[in-house]
Amino acid sequence: MRTKAIMIAALLAGVASQPLSAKEGMFTPEQLPEIADDLREAGLELDPNVLSDLTGFPMGAVVSLGGCSASFVSPQGLVVTNHHCARGSVQYNSTAENNYLENGFLAKTMGEELPAAPGSRIYVTTEFSDVTQRVRAATDDLSPNERYNTVEQRMKDITAECEQDAGYRCRVASYYGGAQYKLIKQLEVKDVRLVYAPADSIGKYGGDVDNWMWPRHTGDFSFYRAYVAPDGSAAEYSENNVPYQPEHHLKVSAGGLEDGDFVMVAGYPGSTSRYAMLAEVENTFGWNYPTFQTLLTEWIDTIETAAPEGSDARVKYESRLAGLNNYEKNLRGQIEGARRVGLIERRREREEALAAWIAADPSRAAYGPAITDLSELAQESAAASRTSFWYGNATRAQLLGVAQRLYRLAKERQKPDAQRDSGYQERDMAFFRQGLQALDRRYDASVDKAEWKLFLDGYIDQPQAERVAVFDNALGLNGVDDEKQLDAILDDYYEGTSLDESETRLALMDASVAELEASNDPFIKLAIALYDYEEGLKEEGEERAGRALALRPAYMEAITQWQSEQGKLPYPDANSTLRITFGNVMGGSPFDGMYYLPFTTLQGIAQKDTGIAPFNAPERELELIAAQDYGKYELDEIDSVPVNYLSDLDVTGGNSGSATLNAQGQLVGLLFDGTFESVNSDWDFDPRTTRSIHVDTRYMLWVMDKVDGATNLIEEMDIVD
């Protein structure tokens, strides 16, 4: 074996010899044939053209969880995703006495698998088609509100036609700011069961301290299973259901990767803002992000105080705390990254360069007025978001949200189903009901009250111009200037409501407008009082959206033509549809004098371990590390089992759980994070600092084999060397 000194020197030399630039681009599947040469040059051994087939191999094995990505890894519907994506289901099934978050969960047989959290879904893509002409036809001369309503109604009509096939969920997705629309049809697997999740001491090792950081040593993986009715159709949970048999599943590599190897990620990135205009960037980084980041810090402290460690309330709020901590750290990274790269000035320079390109050719002149109008609209929208910020937070109480949704549902049900707003059509009722049910495991009155009080304190401190009279009058905030007065108001709400009871919430789904308006529940009364004001905000937002539908496609056409002339293949901003990004295993140098090695090792787990969360690896794992019991999962060049690795792939939120594939399309890891320096790439791609973090399949298999005894799952999967 080589000495550690020689090993580290070799790795440093490898990093130094590699290019510092990451590969930009979250490409849609249909774009891949256009970059076939780039894919081959990077190392892909599959035919690049097969990657554009969403129902073929390997893309047919990639699925969405509706917020995270995942993939099939067995013929029996076994699905692998990130631990943090499945953690809500682990939390839902946990109590203070039976805490799967702390102890982990493993079903040794299918009969022991647990239902995932209500509303959990696995979406399997079956069809993909262009519907741009049908959506956009004859909308140019309409008023903004008419345009918005027409486009929305057409999208709902297309969706309804698609969903005439029972068991499918369809979506019309917008690309390039509304210049293109695609219809995506997916099998909606409703019976999702939790199969295996390692304990937080593995799956969340390092916790919020290590989040977004490198080096990382996190076993961020878990397994679900998809179930369907015996005839193969989508069905709600039933003991009679059988495992779904996918047409394609991924083989899992135990041989893994080496430094410099080709990798690609296929998943469902949520959103990026790389084409956002200067006014949007200025508002986001000059006001919105700093303000919300401060509020998030206070919000986290409030929950931790109201829900002490070890309490049932803390178990209920673990998922929320994890999400808030993740978001708070992400915002700090975004703010720091924007400062580091001079994002606002870079965006100003881009808009000036685009304007010069337009002015250089009279045939481009039509772009100018549209872009000017869009810039003014962006400034108007930014001002509206600042004005509504504190009111929006002041109405965050969970039971108020329930009351508002129930009253809105009653109102929407007065319309034909096809004309109802999204979220309130019959297709949405299963989610609606399951959301009301899930509240039982994610709500505690004392914590909710503490949160609401925090938000109201911030709202009350704002100038009168930032406050909403109807809200102040309905809640009785006029003249409130001390804690006792506010406490008394909130106590009346929590003592006088029955919305904290699941049976009440579910029964009110069938209530009429008149029945709700006769209710004495304080949260329902407040929701009714705010309804007209909220509808006004909604109409104002739709008017701005309608104007954007006319203006942004012209802006996107200009900017994509401009980029094409510079030799770039323009790709649309992420929008929760399937994207492919590719590159290589690669360390990096985000700052002068700093190197990131491409792999972390088992030894790093032991070095970080303190025995106290979040650095509290299981004793069994530490014993195996001390004994250097690596089995067949060792990577020779690091003399250990690789835990996590870096690549130069272009990813964002929603990519969590995405399959990381090697040159042959085998699973070699799961994407779960980016480095702290990378998060600002949502807005502006920085080739020097962009690095994504993956959990290595060798570490996954090592934990399953030697730590948790999940040999039943190893035997079920196709493991290849």
**Averaged pLDDT, 502-528:** 98
Average pLDDT taken over every residue of the chain: 94
In this prediction, residues 357-362 reach a mean pLDDT of: 97
pLDDT of residue 687: 81
pLDDT (0 to 100) of residue 267: 97
List, for residues 19-73, the tens digit of each pLDDT value: 334 579 999 999 999 999 999 999 999 999 999 999 999 999 999 999 999 999 9
656 is catalytic: yes
Place of tokens 């049908």: 134
Long-range contacts of 295-303 (CB under 8 A, 24+ apart): 295/393, 295/458, 296/324, 296/327, 296/328, 296/331, 297/328, 298/454, 299/324, 299/451, 299/454, 300/324, 300/325, 300/328, 302/450, 302/451, 302/454, 303/447, 303/450, 303/451
Q: How far is CA 225 from CA 55, 81, 543, 656, in A?
A: 19, 11, 43, 18
Contact criterion met (CB below 8 Å) for 306 and 320: no
pLDDT at 19: 39
What is the per-residue pLDDT for 11?
A: 34
Contact 688, 679 (CB under 8 A): no
The confidence score (pLDDT) of residue 1 equals 38
Instruction: State the pairing for strand pair 579-584/599-601.
Output: unpaired
Phi, psi for residue 39 in degrees, rounded to 5: -65, -45
List Cβ neighbours of 353 (8 Å cut-off, separation of 6 or more): none
Choose, from 319, 640, 656, 692, the residue flagged as catalytic.
656
User: Over the stretch 435-452, which tens digit does the pLDDT of each residue have?
Assistant: 999 999 899 999 999 999
Active site residue 89: no
Q: Are strands 69-72 and 659-661 parallel, antiparallel or unpaired?
A: unpaired
What pLDDT band is residue 5 in, cutting at 50, 70 and 90? very low
φ/ψ of residue 197, rounded to 5: -145, 120
* pLDDT above 60 for 623: yes
Tens digits of per-residue pLDDT, 334-348? 999 999 999 999 999
The more confidently predicted of residues 310 and 404 is 404
686-702 pLDDT tens trace: 888 899 999 999 999 99
HSE-CB of 593 using CA atoms within 13 angstroms: 0
User: What pLDDT is recorded for position 22?
Assistant: 53
Q: At 160, is the secondary structure helix, strand, or coil?
A: helix
Rounded to whole angstroms, the Cα distance separating 331 from 327 reads: 6
Q: Give the mean pLDDT of 709-714.
A: 98
The contacts of residue 500 (CB under 8 Å, 6+ apart) are: 399, 443, 445, 494
465 falls in which pLDDT band (50, 70, 90)? confident
Distance from C-alpha of 94 to C-alpha of 101, rounded to nearest angstrom = 7
- AA letter at 358: I
Tokens describing residue 50: 């097969």
- Output the pLDDT for position 7: 35
Per-residue pLDDT of 594-605, as tens digits, reads 999 999 999 999
Q: Of the candidates 266, 173, 185, 194, which has an alpha carbon nearest to the alpha carbon of residue 665?
A: 266
Please report which confidence band the pLDDT of residue 4 belongs to, taking 50, 70 and 90 as the band edges.
very low
Q: What pLDDT, on the 0 to 100 scale, is given for residue 591?
A: 86
Cα 187 to Cα 163: distance, rounded to the nearest angstrom? 10
Q: What is the pTM of this model?
A: 0.90
Q: Is the dihedral of CA 552, 128, 659, 668 positive or negative?
A: negative
Residues found in the chain: 721
The tens digit of pLDDT for each residue in 628-667 reads 999 999 999 999 999 999 999 999 989 999 999 999 999 9
Helix (H, G, I), strand (E, B) or coil at 688: coil
CA–CA distance, 573 with 271 (Å, rounded to integer): 7
Residues pairing with 81 in the sheet: 222
Query: Alpha-carbon distance 395 to 493, whole Å?
Result: 13
- Is 140 catalytic? The answer is no
**How many other CB atoms are found less than 10 A from the CB of residue 9?**
12
216-272 per-position pLDDT tens digit: 999 999 999 999 999 999 999 999 999 999 999 999 999 999 999 999 999 999 999
Residue 2 pLDDT exceeds 70? no
Helix axes of 522-565 and 144-162: crossing angle, nearest 10 degrees: 90
**Among 220, 448, 648, 686, which one carries the catalytic annotation?**
220
Contact 651, 68 (CB under 8 A): no
Q: Which two tokens stand for residue 127?
A: 């069809």
From 64, 69, 84, 650, the catalytic residue? 84
- How far is Cα 476 from Cα 455, in angstroms, rounded to an integer? 15
**Are the C-beta atoms of residues 312 and 446 closer than 8 Å to each other?**
no
Radius of gyration (C-alpha) of the chain in whole angstroms: 26
Which pLDDT does position 18 carry in this prediction?
A: 39
Q: How confident is the model at residue 15 (pLDDT cuts 50, 70, 90)?
A: very low
